[in-house]
Amino acid sequence: NEVSGRVPDRKWKQDYWKANKAAWCKSGKKDGDYAERIAYENCLEGNQMRAGDSVNYSIGQGDTLVTPIQMASIYAAISNGGTLHEPSIGKAVVSADGKHVEEIKPKVNAKLPIDAKLHKEIDGALAGVATQGTAAWRFQGWPQKDIPMHAKTGTAEVYGKQTTSWFATYTKDYAIVMTISQGGTGSGASGPAVRKIYDALYGVDSSGQINKKKALLPEPEKTLPKIEKDGSIDSPTLKKKFAPYKLETPPSTSPLLPQ
């Protein structure tokens, strides 16, 4: 199951301090190593909400916790106008013979607590990141007028380790988020892979031109694929992109199979 994540506030700070105070006070030392000094400080002042805490929380640092799929859900909500859907890994459950179908309909969890004006400002700011901000060098040549790209890079600090790379993006069709533990900066580590995914989906070549014939899936499938009698899945969109697989050597004469 997906963990709930955490966006801390004053109440969380107080509750967390009460739950851990005894352990901190026992292990903390004023002149100890790093962990012991942190425990000592938390023992005495761990319930205080400082301005620096609020700054940390607002940029996803400090005690903020979030998973990649939670980030994808949030950015998808910004993309669609503010509706937060429950994540799902499929559209339907289909029996092997293709007859029994149980559709997995989108489930609305909540609405983003922002008005239309603020939504427009956030949307515009994220588009700016992709065109002139920290993600711009990864989206050089991207056909922004035809396929508006929105992005946000993230570099999450972890004590004693290389930073965690975050790269969150969306278009009108997709939201793609990548994170790499100890990967470094968001655009530096995750950026190239995310760009290649979008290039493949929309058929964008190295010069920024859109080749619709090479686009794998320029928009999500609107209908369920057909299930053939042999149980294989026939997707109308993908069928046009890939030629049917043919064995070079018939199974009966394959040297790897017993005769």
Which of 33-47, 122-136, 164-178, 227-241 has the lowest average pLDDT?
227-241
Residue located via tokens 């916790």? 65
Q: Which two tokens stand for residue 104?
A: 């997995």
What gap in Å lies between CA 85 and CA 53, rounded to an integer? 29
Q: What is the pLDDT of residues 15-42, one digit of tens each?
A: 999 999 999 999 999 999 999 999 999 9
Which of 161-165, 196-200, 231-235 has the lowest average pLDDT?
231-235
Mention every residue, 6+ apart, whose C-beta is less than 8 A from residue 119: 78, 81, 82, 112
Whether pLDDT at 155 is above 60: yes
Whether pLDDT at 62 is above 90: no
Share of the chain above pLDDT 70, in %: 89
Give the residue with greater pLDDT, 10 vs 245. Answer: 10
pLDDT, residue 253, reads 52
Whether pLDDT at 232 is above 90: no
Mention every residue, 6+ apart, whose C-beta is less than 8 A from residue 165: 154, 155, 178, 179, 180, 183, 184, 185, 186, 188, 189, 190
Which of 46-55, 115-124, 152-161, 231-240 has the lowest average pLDDT?
231-240
Q: Which two tokens stand for residue 123?
A: 């949307």
Whether pLDDT at 229 is above 80: no
Question: 182-191 long-range CB contacts below 8 Å, 24 or more apart?
Answer: 182/158, 184/155, 185/153, 185/155, 186/134, 186/135, 186/152, 186/153, 186/154, 186/155, 187/134, 187/135, 187/137, 187/138, 187/153, 189/165, 190/165, 190/166, 191/135, 191/137, 191/138, 191/153, 191/167
pLDDT, residue 259, reads 45
pLDDT, residue 6, reads 87
Secondary structure class of 19 (helix, strand, coil) = helix
Model confidence band, residue 224 (pLDDT cutoffs 50, 70, 90): confident
pTM: 0.80
Query: Considering the chain, what is the average pLDDT of its residues?
Result: 88
Which of 99-103, 180-184, 226-230, 248-252 has the lowest average pLDDT?
248-252
pLDDT, residue 240, reads 61
Annotate 196-232 with b (16+ C-beta within 10 A) or e (fewer). Answer: eebbebbbbeeeeeeeeeebebeeeeeeebebeeeee
Whether pLDDT at 258 is above 90: no
Q: How far is CA 124 from CA 49, 119, 135, 152, in A?
A: 32, 9, 14, 12
Residue located via tokens 């400080």? 41
Give the closest residue to 170 by CA, choosing from 115, 220, 132, 130. Answer: 130
Whether pLDDT at 53 is above 80: yes
Phi, psi for residue 27 in degrees, rounded to 5: -95, -15
Give the closest residue to 70 by CA, choosing from 153, 150, 167, 177. Answer: 177
pLDDT, residue 254, reads 47
What gap in Å lies between CA 154 and CA 156, rounded to an integer? 6
Q: Which two tokens stand for residue 166?
A: 């975050």
